[in-house]
Chains A and B, each alone.
Chain A
């Protein structure tokens, strides 16, 4: 059997392969084969599930973004501008909780990852398609719980749920913790699915050394998801029980310890930061090679640094607690380990810049976002070094400096990478092109608006402006107002993006199967792809970044592997050695 021989772990095998050139603008695609709302809601197709996640994430992003604009508007003046302090506290809590749990965590892995991962593996689907759909509905149920909380007293604890405030709060803490608890299972199941898929579903010829870096990143992310998320689940369960039964584990008056909650919480929530950013790294590696038409520089350095970040990321959670009163021993060790995680991140950045050297660089929109990413994320990284050093952190902890830092990392990093990914894979996902000129204007607005919003926050933070403040002293007014103005520009930028993507969906130009000339396996499928991704079993001889080799050598599939609804043009038959 050809399939058995094609085992990637096997030795040199001779395969019968054919050249399959993807047909342009196919009539039958995953979008047209099954139609109607019901076919979407009950689909087990990873592509449709990915798009449903993308839709939900976009919805929550707009909700969280609207909250952010309201918060910024309130901060135009000290004291009350238009909402009360309690409302303000609820808004920043919800902004944080929605953006972290409903947007950033699922954004790249669950939305783009679901769509792209099986295609980059040459698989028909993820390992457990039904489980995949289940994860999506678990996400929806988690969202419903959170909405119940919204309608019912809201939540005012901050997204960190610190005890004892969260055990005393009169808002609906339980609904939200249960919501996030449920949401956690969605994340766990997605991670489980991805690990099994990457291990067991690789197309013939995809060895670990030929795995696209996007998949290395998703693999590292999945490992963090399965190791960290269960601890969040138990933390939230303990917090819920603390409120229901007065368990005492986090209650100082019963001999418990509120700081222990912070350990529990950050054991998940610090690695969660890497759940958010590491998949972004994957997208950057894909886009930067495609638009420089060049082999990635330091494949193994980038691949293994993802795993290194995933591992070291588990050992640094206490840097959120330098001022909390944790022991000096712990503080010292956490500070030291925190710096170590900076190194693999730095290695990645420098490898990407080195990839540009002697490339053939085309500044299309995804590439512009990569440049924005490299600039903003570097700033986020350097300010992270600042916050990791003990003496400086004592001064900067819980000020706007921290707020600016994590927005540079999470928004300047993850969200910009997500935008790069959406623009990069948009033709593949929808079969349509978007307006390149409008897209570039959008990117410019985002870049300007973002820096205008968050650069002043660095300054007012180190001047001493604490975070989560409804009111502020007069000396910070000018910084707050600049920041608010910037956030409006940012908002306009996102609206523009939504507008031209919507236009593209409705009346966009039809996209070719490989508009960017990428060597990635996902681009050897039609745009949009077939229901089963490929109409043949792809065979991979070269790595995904072998731009020095002609395109024809990437368009291979097992001979005689039509699945019935394919319509590839057979060109010729070759004998190729795969290992």
Chain B
């Protein structure tokens, strides 16, 4: 709004007064976007809750097919990556470009570990014939509605995994920009926004893990 400002610097876009306004606006926008994400996953949670209420014994039996150990490992991995993202933001705030880059790399690494474990879980299930919906052909669990549970399982974890992949992409982009030295204590908005996104991905998993793997 004001067209003049003494604190104008390169990263402040023309329609903002100063960097603070830009940062606050971006953060608000990001939170509004996260509200979307929550309701987007909310739809899946609703399908979960409805069918769990309808077929409770199915969910008990089917949860046994999921590997709690690897689920728990993945939870730890994701929480660890949340920690490193938070550390990355802290590094940026303190002008420590090296720390920022290292933390980003660890985060990307942990995210990839998460995806690899997820991949093993999926391929194990595919091997058994646990496919979603009408392709379900597993002999070990012959509940009439078993395909519904695994449809919900694959949708929830699949869309979550898609978010992890998008997160990896974002983090690589941030890393490249960090290498160019674009971030520092006066400007780290994209780091913070990516961090918020990544924490949300973690947040969703925190609920997915007990609901899918633990309840029996």
A204→B145 CA distance, assembly (Å): 60
Query: Can you give 19 contacting A-B residue pairs, CB < 8 Å?
Result: A1-B6, A3-B5, A3-B18, A199-B25, A201-B15, A201-B25, A227-B39, A228-B39, A230-B37, A231-B40, A234-B40, A234-B41, A242-B133, A245-B132, A248-B134, A248-B147, A248-B151, A249-B152, A260-B47
| Residues of chain B lying within 8 A (CB to CB) of residue A562 | 3
Q: Do B24 and A129 touch across chains, with their CB atoms under 8 A apart?
A: no
4 A-B pairs with the lowest CB-CB distances in the bound complex, closest first: A246-B134, A234-B43, A563-B3, A230-B40
Q: Do A199 and B4 touch across chains, with their CB atoms under 8 A apart?
A: no
Q: Does A162 contact B (CB under 8 A)?
A: no
- Interface core residue of B5, B14, B15 (most chain A CB under 10 Å): B15
Minimum C-beta distance from A183 to chain B (A): 14
Minimum C-beta distance from A232 to chain B (A): 9
Given A4-B17, A124-B14, A254-B147, output 20 extra A-B contacts at Cβ < 8 Å: A124-B1, A131-B29, A188-B33, A195-B29, A196-B25, A199-B28, A200-B25, A226-B35, A230-B39, A230-B43, A231-B39, A233-B40, A234-B40, A238-B43, A247-B148, A248-B134, A249-B47, A254-B145, A255-B54, A563-B4
A252-298 contacts to B (CB < 8 Å): 254-257, 260, 264
Q: Do B135 and A245 touch across chains, with their CB atoms under 8 A apart?
A: yes
Q: Does A192 contact B (CB under 8 A)?
A: yes
Q: Does B21 contact A (CB under 8 A)?
A: yes
A494→B5 CA distance, assembly (Å): 48
Q: Do B133 and A248 touch across chains, with their CB atoms under 8 A apart?
A: yes
Q: Does B119 contact A (CB under 8 A)?
A: no
- Interface core residue of B24, B55, B151 (most chain A CB under 10 Å): B151
Q: Which residues of B contact A (CB under 8 A)?
A: 1-6, 13-15, 17-18, 21, 24-26, 28-29, 32-33, 35-37, 39-44, 46-47, 50-51, 54-55, 131-135, 144-145, 147-148, 151-152, 155, 159
| Residues of chain A lying within 8 A (CB to CB) of residue B26 | 127-128, 196
Q: Do A3 and B151 touch across chains, with their CB atoms under 8 A apart?
A: no
A211→B49 CA distance, assembly (Å): 41
A545-576 contacts to B (CB < 8 Å): 558, 560-564
| Given A234-B44, A536-B3; A247-B133 close (CB under 8 Å) | yes
| Residues of chain A lying within 8 A (CB to CB) of residue B33 | 188, 192, 226
Q: Do B29 and A192 touch across chains, with their CB atoms under 8 A apart?
A: yes
A561→B4 CA distance, assembly (Å): 6
| Given A234-B43, A247-B155, A248-B133; A122-B29 close (CB under 8 Å) | no
| Residues of chain B lying within 8 A (CB to CB) of residue A233 | 40, 43
Q: Do A254 and B148 touch across chains, with their CB atoms under 8 A apart?
A: yes
A129→B22 CA distance, assembly (Å): 12
| Residues of chain A lying within 8 A (CB to CB) of residue B42 | 230-231, 234
| Residues of chain A lying within 8 A (CB to CB) of residue B39 | 227-228, 230-231
A193→B30 CA distance, assembly (Å): 10
Minimum C-beta distance from A195 to chain B (A): 5
